[in-house]
Structure 1
Amino acid sequence: MKIILTGATGVLGSHIMYELLELFIKKPNLNNKLYIIARNNGKNSAENRINELLSSYYTPKILQNIGLNDLNKYIEIINFDIVVKEELFLEKIKGAYLIHSAGYVNLSTDEELKDKIFDENVQLTKTLFSVLHPYIKKFIYIGTAFSSGIRKGLIGTDFHNLDFTPEHRNTYEYAKYHSENFIARECRAIGLPFQILRPSVIGGKMLGTENNYFIPKYMVFYLLAKFFHFTANRKGKQENVRIIVNAETSLNIIPVDYVAKVVVNTFEKDDIEQLNIVNKKSFNMLKGLELIMNEVGYTNFTFIANDLDFEYKNSVEKMYYESIGKHLKPYFISDANEYDTTLLNSILEIPKLDNEGFTNLIRYAIANNFQDIKV
């Protein structure tokens, strides 16, 4: 089996890489090959970045036991700039599955970042399709469940045959939705099988016993915890922060290792074109915020309903709403929704995220001082 993977140095992509290599180990075949499309990061080459991911304390034990030299027999790393011009590479990947996990996750609502966020997510997808579509057997696109836009009630798996145009909270959601539509339209036009897999907010590992709650980069709800963790530890009295939140709304969080396992269990299934990889039950936003504030030790806060005439009362409130709060607010005031998980649960049982599990995610982040893994 030949598989092309983008985004292998990212939060989800690295875990998809782990799962694919484990699949190759458990089902050995001389033709198994994982082509990783990556870029150098400054002086750190793509090869070094991948090798670090395969030889660190957080690398799954089954891969550590095989060792870096033997793992590299399954892998060929291709610099993205070479992909678009090296005919020899294109000939080698004939008949491969493409799992496109690379993306630029940025929930910013800042006007000056709109073009960058859109281009980083959309242009790469279009370039990969343009170059690789004559050679691959299937295009698997990793989107986001939030490309559904601002919705309430039960959300199904089909985002492309709606009787309305979704309204999105930010450019990231819109860019992912735009990319999905592009892939679905272009693949159908040439008869190329495709699949759109959409995780919700990705949290730390929760399956098995290895490195539970680990995540290589802290995003979304972790960023709010990080903000108030460091603010709580500043000298002086805690200033009251009013957090604008809809008491009914919720946030859907799914463990990164679960998402990776679903991707690897699904990409060969020709009967699945769209799938939301989400939790069966979203986590109430108010309860989540209370748990976060309790864990980080910030006690002087108040929940309020949306106030259009909101004015800052102190420096911490101003700092919050002019940074992470500005970008998270659209999620905090959204109507409550849930996802139809009937199909997903039949593929792999969905892990439950309760108060204890959510608290453990935050505790892990605090214990590790919210330090991202940089490769």
Structure 2
Amino acid sequence: MKIILTGATGVLGSHIMYDILENFITNNIEGKLFLITRNKGKVTAKERINELLSSNYTPKFLLDKGVDKLNQYLEIIDTDLAALQDSFSEKIKGAYFIHSAGYVNLSTDENQKDKIFNENAAITKAIFKMFSPFIKKFIYISTAFSSGARKGLIGNDFHNLDFKLEHRNAYENAKFHSEEFVIQQCKELNLPYQILRPSVIGGKMLSNENRYFIPKYMVFYLMAKFFHFTAQRKDQQENVRFAISEETGLNIIPVDYVAKVIVNTFEREDIQQLNIVHNESFNLVKGLQLIMKEVGYSNFSVIQNTLDFDYKNTIEKLYYESIGKHLKPYLTSAANEYDTTLLNSILEIPKLDAESFTNMIRYARLQNFKDINV
């Protein structure tokens, strides 16, 4: 079996890499995993991957095998190749292509729009055009939020709807545009495809090994990070008002669950679109209360969404002019849930309750919200 993976140094991509390697070894699969990975400064692509395979957060199963053993299954692809050489194209012929790399940025700033689009849609198009002549299937890792602001029950098919989707930011729009491109091109080429869409990714939950670990803190973690450091710096906590719809929830799914679903699904011919999401979104008001309790910021209140919003103090202004303005569209969206019947039949969705949500935040706080950048 041959698999090409992008984004192996990222939050989700690294866990996909771990699970593919474990699958190769456990099931005695003669496999080769090709990683599209760049150098980072003076650190080579191979050194970056080796760090992921030999760290204190590497799964113990792989750590025990050792880097040399794991590297027998790996080969680095140089993305700067102007064209695939004949010898190399023969190596990857018939491979599954899992495109996990992406640029997660929920910014609503107009000057960020082009960068967000190019880092997602434009790169996806370039990669697809380069590799599509050689591969047997293209698996695109999108986001459940490419559906935009919707209410009610959301199914797995985002591309045969009788209404137009309303995207909240350039990131959602770029991911949906990429999905449309992949579907259209694959149909024209008669190339099998899958669109797999995780929701907001949280820390690991499937085992006690490195439980709640996640290498980078995004979305709800950013709110916790902001108020964690604010609580430490300020003797007097200024009141912050949060505009939140009381019925709205945030759909959070553990990173190790997402990776395992992808590895268990990418060969299936009967699945073209799948949302990898929790069966129940976590209530935002409850989540806010748990976050603020854990980080030690008690002076806040929940208000109804309003267009007229004059900041009452410095902290409120700092929050809303930084992460707050990008998170607000999600905090005030209509309530929705996802149909997880198919997903749950692939792998049972882990329970996410107040205790486990708090433990995700606590893990991040104990790590001082420091990202791991490989």
Task: Name the CA distance, whole Å, in 1 between partners of 2:273 and 2:253.
Answer: 17
Task: Name the CA distance, whole Å, in 2 between partners of 1:83 and 1:29.
Answer: 32
1:177-188 correspondence to structure 2 within 5 Å? 177-188=176-187
Q: Does residue 128 of the first structure (1) align with residue 106 of the second (2)?
A: no
1:29 offset after TM fit, Å? 3.3
Q: Which range moved further: 140-149 or 123-132? A: 123-132
1:43 offset after TM fit, Å? 1.4
Q: Which letter does structure 2 place at the counterpart of 1:168?
A: H
Percent of aligned pairs with the same amino acid: 70
Q: Which letter does structure 1 place at the counterpart of 2:16?
A: I
Task: Name the CA distance, whole Å, in 2 between partners of 1:205 and 1:133.
Answer: 33
Indicate the SS of the match to 1:165.
coil
- Could you tell me which residue of structure 2 aligns to residue 15 of structure 1? 15
Indicate the SS of the match to 2:8.
coil
Task: Name the CA distance, whole Å, in 2 between partners of 1:235 and 1:289.
Answer: 20
Task: Name the CA distance, whole Å, in 2 between partners of 1:68 and 1:292.
Answer: 38
Task: Name the CA distance, whole Å, in 1 between partners of 2:276 and 2:85.
Answer: 35
Task: Name the CA distance, whole Å, in 2 between partners of 1:290 and 1:276.
Answer: 28
- Could you tell me which residue of structure 2 aligns to residue 311 of structure 1? 310
Task: Name the CA distance, whole Å, in 2 between partners of 1:224 and 1:163.
Answer: 36
Q: Provide structure 1 residue ranges, at least 5 long, that are not aligned to the other structure.
A: none
1:84 offset after TM fit, Å? 3.7
Q: Which letter does structure 1 place at the counterpart of 2:123?
A: L
1:342 offset after TM fit, Å? 0.2
Residues 84-132 of structure 1: CA deviation (Å, up to 9, x unaligned): 4433222210000000000000001111100000010011110111111
Task: Name the CA distance, whole Å, in 1 between partners of 2:139 and 2:245.
Answer: 35
1:206-245 correspondence to structure 2 within 5 Å? 206-245=205-244
Q: Which letter does structure 1 place at the counterpart of 2:20?
A: L
- Could you tell me which residue of structure 1 aligns to residue 108 of structure 2? 109
Q: Which letter does structure 1 place at the counterpart of 2:199?
A: S
- Could you tell me which residue of structure 2 aligns to residue 296 of structure 1? 295
Indicate the SS of the match to 2:80.
helix
- Could you tell me which residue of structure 2 aligns to residue 118 of structure 1? 117
Q: Which letter does structure 2 place at the counterpart of 1:231?
A: T
Task: Please tell me whether the aligned partners of residues 280 and 339 of structure 1 are also in contact (alpha carbons under 8 angstroms).
Answer: yes
Task: Please tell me whether the aligned partners of residues 40 and 79 of structure 1 are also in contact (alpha carbons under 8 angstroms).
Answer: no
Aligned length: 374
Residues 201-251 of structure 1: CA deviation (Å, up to 9, x unaligned): 000000112100000000000000000000011132111111111111000
TM-score (norm 2): 0.99
Task: Name the CA distance, whole Å, in 1 between partners of 2:280 and 2:179.
Answer: 25
Q: Does residue 33 of the first structure (1) align with residue 32 of the second (2)?
A: yes
- Could you tell me which residue of structure 2 aligns to residue 330 of structure 1? 329
Task: Please tell me whether the aligned partners of residues 83 and 89 of structure 1 are also in contact (alpha carbons under 8 angstroms).
Answer: no
Residues 306-325 of structure 1: CA deviation (Å, up to 9, x unaligned): 11110111110000000000
1:85-96 correspondence to structure 2 within 5 Å? 85-96=84-95
Q: Which letter does structure 1 place at the counterpart of 2:85?
A: E
- Could you tell me which residue of structure 1 aligns to residue 49 of structure 2? 50
- Could you tell me which residue of structure 1 aligns to residue 319 of structure 2? 320
Indicate the SS of the match to 1:186.
helix
Task: Name the CA distance, whole Å, in 1 between partners of 2:262 and 2:165.
Answer: 25
Task: Name the CA distance, whole Å, in 2 between partners of 1:98 and 1:277.
Answer: 19
Q: Which range moved further: 65-74 or 79-88? A: 79-88
1:190 offset after TM fit, Å? 1.2
Indicate the SS of the match to 2:24.
helix
TM-score (norm 1): 0.99
Q: Which letter does structure 1 place at the counterpart of 2:17?
A: M
Residues 248-278 of structure 1: CA deviation (Å, up to 9, x unaligned): 1000000000000000000000000000000
Task: Please tell me whether the aligned partners of residues 140 and 197 of structure 1 are also in contact (alpha carbons under 8 angstroms).
Answer: yes
Task: Please tell me whether the aligned partners of residues 23 and 29 of structure 2 are also in contact (alpha carbons under 8 angstroms).
Answer: no
Q: Which letter does structure 2 place at the counterpart of 1:220?
A: V
- Could you tell me which residue of structure 2 aligns to residue 138 of structure 1? 137
Q: Which letter does structure 2 place at the counterpart of 1:104?
A: Y
- Could you tell me which residue of structure 2 aligns to residue 257 of structure 1? 256
Task: Please tell me whether the aligned partners of residues 83 and 90 of structure 1 are also in contact (alpha carbons under 8 angstroms).
Answer: no
Q: Provide structure 2 residue ranges, at least 5 long, that are not aligned to the other structure.
A: none
- Could you tell me which residue of structure 2 aligns to residue 70 of structure 1? 69
Indicate the SS of the match to 2:188.
helix
- Could you tell me which residue of structure 2 aligns to residue 148 of structure 1? 147
Return closer, same or farther for 1:83/1:252 CA change in 2, 3 Å cut-off: farther
Task: Please tell me whether the aligned partners of residues 147 and 174 of structure 1 are also in contact (alpha carbons under 8 angstroms).
Answer: yes
1:362 offset after TM fit, Å? 0.3
Indicate the SS of the match to 2:242.
strand
